[in-house]
Amino acid sequence: MYVIVVGAGKVGWNLARELLEKNHEVTVIESNRRRYLTVEQELEHNVTYGDASELWVLERAGIERADLVIAVTGDDEDNMLICQVAREKYEVEQIIARVNNPRNKPHFDLLGVKPSVSATDLILRLLEHEVPEYGLVHLLDLQEEQLEIIEMLLGKDSGVTGRRVGDLSMPEGSLLISVLREGKGFVPNADTVLEEGDEVLAVLDPGREDDLKALFGPAVGGNGTG
Amino acid sequence: MLAEGHEVSCLDEDPEAHTRLEVGLDKGWEDLGGRFTVGTGLETDALIAAGIESADAFIAATNGDNTNIVIAQIAQKRYEVPTVIARILDPLRAEWYRQQGMHTICPTRVAIDMLESAVREGAAREAA
């Protein structure tokens, strides 16, 4: 595979190393003369000097026959436009763009530059994975009346998404009272089908939390009370 | 354009640019009906504050080609401004984006054409 990497910073340089080790053909384009000379000592003819925003620089690097263009400079506009011309003018099959400022992500999407990778997003996704997602939030504790109301967010691997409310075996002493979907709340009936991202509200006898968590949490084997 | 009675709103990341707007005017920029917002064109909030949502025309003329090309596309695609113009110095890219339907102005191209005709005129006069 022929890969063009734009930007010989830490990301670009290491990426090029990995790709070369895997026996791909690689050209790195770097616009800073000093950085270019440093990287050139190791990558030799695999790195070229120039501003990849300019079409002739891309053409000199052989973009017409590239299978993949990866833009990982520190400048979001550069990354966006390099990938845009790579795909639309030179019909490169696959592109990957780096997003430096996550607030620019919508601009990448608007210009059709996909996929785009943001380090901030990756860390967030990791966090979501590592931190328990099915935390249930106590909304109301009626101590005297011996009742609680709790809220749960249905994650991707929840055991109940796609199922009818009527088919759920709700633990004894609990009742599903409301579903919040896309900012709107409604009272579910037996035919309501639960979706990923729903926030469900339930009223229950104290001490039933674990049973509910097992039912609405990630599907494991035969899920809890099911 | 302000003098012609149009409503003009400028967006610049440098607050000092406001001073430049008033050079040669006998009244303040705002007094003449102009608007000025400090911010960059990639910030959605700044574009909205400058009034992009109700604009009839949008001109991207920062000193960076890439910035202009990106903002012009945002104005065109997200805010659907009817007339969008981008200043692009690089003649090759100005040409390609023009083919893609963007209204581009290439000062380099204009200068080359003017210089060329000045040279030709000079040579013709010499020969005469």
Fold topology of A2-126: Rossmann fold (3.40.50)
Say if the Cβ atoms of B92 and A55 lie within 8 Å.
yes
What is the pLDDT, as a whole number, of residue A209?
80
CB of A68 closer than 8 Å to CB of A94: yes
CB of B44 closer than 8 Å to CB of B67: no
End-to-end CA distance of chain A, in Å? 50
What is the pLDDT, as a whole number, of residue B38?
94
Total Cβ atoms within 10 A of residue A221: 7
Burial of A212 (C-beta count, 10 Å sphere; 0-12/13-18/19+): buried
CB of A53 closer than 8 Å to CB of B97: no
Domain covering A136-216 assigned CATH 3.30.70.1450 in the classification: yes
Q: pTM score, two decimals?
A: 0.69
Which residue shows structure tokens 């040409």? B95
Successive 10-residue mean pLDDT values, chain A, 226 residues: 95 94 96 96 95 96 96 95 96 94 92 87 63 57 72 84 88 87 87 90 83 78 40
Residues 6+ apart with CB under 8 A from A189: A165, A166
Domain ranges of chain A: 2-126, 136-216
Say if the Cβ atoms of A77 and B66 lie within 8 Å.
yes
Say if the Cβ atoms of A54 and B93 lie within 8 Å.
yes
Q: Which residues of B touch A (CB under 8 A)?
A: 42-44, 64-67, 69-70, 73-74, 77-78, 90, 92-93, 96, 100
CA distances from B35 to A16, B49, B51 (A): 48, 10, 9
Domains delineated in chain B: 39-127 (3.40.50.720)
- For residue B97, the distance in angstroms to the closest alpha carbon of chain A comes to 9
